[in-house]
Amino acid sequence: MNGNNRKLIILLIISAIKLVVGFAWAQSPRIHSHNDYIGKVPFWEAFNSHAGSIEADVILSEGKLMVAHEESSIKPEWTLSNVYLDPIRQAKTLGMLESHNFQLVVEIKTDAKKTLAVLEPELEKYKTLWYTETNPKGIKIVISGNKPPVQDYNQYPDYIFFDYQGLPQENLPLEKIAMCSYDFKNYSEWNGKGRMIEAQKQKVQAIIDEVHALGKPIRFWGSPDKKTAWRAFHAMGVDFINTDIPFLATDYLTKLPRNTYKVAKQHNIYYPTYQADGQGNQVENIILMIGDGNGLTQISAGLAANGNKLNLTQLKNIGLVKTQSFDDFVTDSAAGGSALATGNKTNNRHIGVTPEGNRVENLSEVLAKYGFASGVVTSDEVSGATPSAFYAHQTDRNKTDEINTDLLDCKLDLFIGYGKQAFQDKLDSLETSGFDLVESLKKVGKSKSERVGYFQPESNISESIANSSYLQEATSSALSFLSAKKQPFFLMVEGSNIDLGGHWNSTKVMVEEELNFDRAIGEVMRYVDEHPNTLLIVTADHETSGASLPYANVEKGEVEIDFHSYDHTGTMVPLFAYGAHANLFCGVYENTAVFKKIISLVEKYHQPK
């Protein structure tokens, strides 16, 4: 099974889990569809958004219950029965109420007693739909707006409840109160941007706590209606979050649990000496680290999750890299990796070939002419798109067997990664081609063989991500092996699962791999300080998911990522450089320039052998 198929299978499993978890979350009554009838599809849009509360304004006009905000906007056919009661009965007939329960809030705009006198017999026609103690799966009817005095609530049928809007007090007929609602502007002037002033927040929280002490849910009207506000109200315990855009609000709150992640353990960072940083030392060793899918948001999320400190963000020489492929504005990892490995733009899915399909030399092949040893380390399969760009030449990244065959006849001296199963029929050939296949990372670092290979034991993605030390240990072992060869070397290290986190819209996967990658970066930074003729370059092949970072709590190590895509994007990615001639990598340039800058330094200090 190649790297792409492995990712696809895991993606399908995770997607199924997300669907179940997300649907379960959506069942909880979190959304109040305010003035629902104003929407393009009254009732059904809110119902399909799993709103827990749906509001319809009602005007008694000429003996009929009309759904409208004021007399002037009345439409002849828009009666309460036509727009709400009949659709609810239809939903019941279709069996749709079994999986979703909600309350219907009838906001009376005309005289309470007169309107209720007409409403009662109308509701009686649909009596089997409504909630009572003997029909606990029914829909709650909640009267809001103009209401009779509190002391009269018990005079109404057992299926009619009320929206209480006074201050919490003793001796309320709690059995007839469905929820408590308040004008948000009486407690705060917050418009939903930034955060609430603390004093106002405390005032809002106080009324929430008072209502909850009564055992009742709470809603605010006139509250800001945007993601920042939805998150804040959710965190404060608002039971029905007021919104005029129920689908977006439900979608956001449904995804919020998996879009928010708190790291279990932060790691200490390495503080570099900077002694050789940007200096004109002869370049002997070149280490290229690729965070697959790693954009500014991914780095920012890792930074916040790790207490506002990363190894990566200690580096001072920074550039921005354009990632477009030859045939598309948005690259895939094959074309992106090939641009870094060969200095040539190519088509998506191509590995180590021109757009026409012609073979083009990669860094391991070019550098071998100058006496460099080379290696690749990845948290993906060795045949994955990014690592294979440094040894293979194929017109399709899915030609796994052909890519594996290319490994038999390549210039690499070392490989570390997953995917042993894909090489089962080539293990003997790998050894014949000179690779000593060892059983542990420690044996990689201690190997005296000319060439060494190590396949990390297969594991599911959760175990792989949780193994925070793998990439760091693999990088350390690779450095030990290559250093012992007493010749210049090139090493590529890939943190592949940042990309998977983006494809899955999983904050956990993205952040954990970002931190795993950063641990490996710290290992290399230490090596650069100990070997001042070394150049470290850290970049990405592309950004994945169009991620943004709307919320973080640095003290708690908690972040929320908002995903705008399940795919790659064409945004520029950052590049960080450290060590000899690191200053040459500042600026804005094409991804192909990384290869060319590396080769120019090699040509400056080395002669072909």
What lies within 8 Å, CB to CB, of 478 at 6+ separation is: 375, 377, 414, 416, 444, 445, 491, 493
Mean pLDDT of the 43-51 span:
94
Per-residue model confidence as pLDDT tens digits over 108-121: 999 999 999 999 99
The letter for the amino acid at 540 is A
- Asked if residues 404 and 424 have their Cβ atoms less than 8 Å apart, the reply is no
Per-residue model confidence as pLDDT tens digits over 55-85: 999 999 999 999 999 999 999 999 999 999 9
Beta bridge partners of 177: 162
SS3 279: coil
Per-residue model confidence as pLDDT tens digits over 186-199: 999 999 999 999 99
Q: What is the 3-state secondary structure (H, E, C) of 129-193?
A: HECECCECCCEEEEEEECCCCHHHHHHCCCCEEEEECCCCCCCCCHHHEEEEEEEHHHCCCCCCC
What lies within 8 Å, CB to CB, of 325 at 6+ separation is: 331, 332, 335, 336, 339, 345, 346, 347, 348
Q: How many CB atoms lie within 10 A of CB 169?
A: 10
**Strand intervals (E) in 316-385:** 317-322, 373-381
Please state, in angstroms and rounded to a whole number, the distance separating the CA atoms of residues 86 and 84: 6
Six-digit token string for 266: 């932060």
Q: What is the 3-state secondary structure (H, E, C) of 412-424?
A: CCEEEEECHHHHH
Six-digit token string for 569: 């994007």
- Asked if residues 535 and 499 have their Cβ atoms less than 8 Å apart, the reply is no
Mean pLDDT of the 252-274 span:
95
Please state, in angstroms and rounded to a whole number, the distance separating the CA atoms of residues 521 and 573: 17
Angle at 3 between CA 257 and CA 359, to 5 degrees: 135
Please state, in angstroms and rounded to a whole number, the distance separating the CA atoms of residues 182 and 163: 10
Confidence of residue 460 (pLDDT cuts 50, 70, 90): low
- Helix 227-236 crosses helix 198-213 at what angle (to 10 degrees)? 50
Please state, in angstroms and rounded to a whole number, the distance separating the CA atoms of residues 51 and 45: 9
What lies within 8 Å, CB to CB, of 370 at 6+ separation is: 488, 602, 606, 607, 608, 609
Residue 403's H or E segment, with its range, is helix 400-408
Mean pLDDT of the 208-226 span:
97
Q: Which of 277, 285, 291, 287 is CA-nearest to residue 539?
A: 291
Per-residue model confidence as pLDDT tens digits over 477-521: 999 999 999 999 999 999 999 999 999 999 999 999 999 999 999
Mean pLDDT of the 42-46 span:
96
Using only the alpha carbons of the chain, give its radius of gyration. 31
Question: What percent of the chain is modeled with pLDDT above 70?
Answer: 95
Per-residue model confidence as pLDDT tens digits over 142-162: 999 999 999 999 999 999 999
Please report the DSSP string for 524-580 in residue order: HHHHHHHSTTEEEEEE-S-EES--EEEEEETTTTEEEEE---SSEE---EEEEEEET
Please state, in angstroms and rounded to a whole number, the distance separating the CA atoms of residues 351 and 340: 11
Residue 346 CA: distances (Å) to CA of 135, 351, 354, 375: 65, 8, 5, 23
Check whether 136 has a pLDDT greater than 80: yes
Please state, in angstroms and rounded to a whole number, the distance separating the CA atoms of residues 185 and 242: 13
What pLDDT is recorded for position 99? 78
Question: Is 423 buried (19+), middle (13-18) or exposed (0-12) by CB count in 10 A?
Answer: buried
Please state, in angstroms and rounded to a whole number, the distance separating the CA atoms of residues 580 and 594: 15
Please report the DSSP string for 98-135 in residue order: GS---EEEEEE-S-HHHHHHHHHHHHHTTGGGB-BTTB
Six-digit token string for 37: 């009838």
Mean pLDDT of the 209-221 span:
97
Six-digit token string for 3: 């790297």
How many residues does this entry show for the chain? Answer: 609
The letter for the amino acid at 105 is V
Check whether 98 has a pLDDT greater than 70: yes
Mean pLDDT of the 203-207 span:
98
Please state, in angstroms and rounded to a whole number, the distance separating the CA atoms of residues 252 and 236: 16
Beta bridge partners of 359: 353
Check whether 19 has a pLDDT greater than 70: no
Question: Is 156 buried (19+), middle (13-18) or exposed (0-12) by CB count in 10 A?
Answer: middle
Q: What is the mean pLDDT of the chain?
A: 93
- Asked if residues 269 and 566 have their Cβ atoms less than 8 Å apart, the reply is no
Check whether 20 has a pLDDT greater than 90: no
The torsion angles phi and psi of 508, rounded to 5 degrees, stand at -60, -50
SS3 514: helix
What percent of the residues of the chain are helix, what percent strand, and what percent coil, each to the nearest 5? 40, 20, 35
Check whether 300 has a pLDDT greater than 90: yes
Give just the sign of the alpha carbon dihedral 107, 109, 114, 119. negative
What pLDDT is recorded for position 61? 96
What pLDDT is recorded for position 462? 66
What pLDDT is recorded for position 14? 39
What pLDDT is recorded for position 145? 97
User: pTM of the full predicted structure?
Assistant: 0.88
- Asked if residues 357 and 473 have their Cβ atoms less than 8 Å apart, the reply is no
Confidence of residue 589 (pLDDT cuts 50, 70, 90): very high
Beta bridge partners of 164: 180
Domains and CATH numbers, the chain: 26-261 (3.20.20.190), 263-605 (3.40.720.10)
Angle at 361 between CA 355 and CA 362, to 5 degrees: 100
The torsion angles phi and psi of 324, rounded to 5 degrees, stand at -60, 145
Confidence of residue 33 (pLDDT cuts 50, 70, 90): very high
Check whether 254 has a pLDDT greater than 60: yes
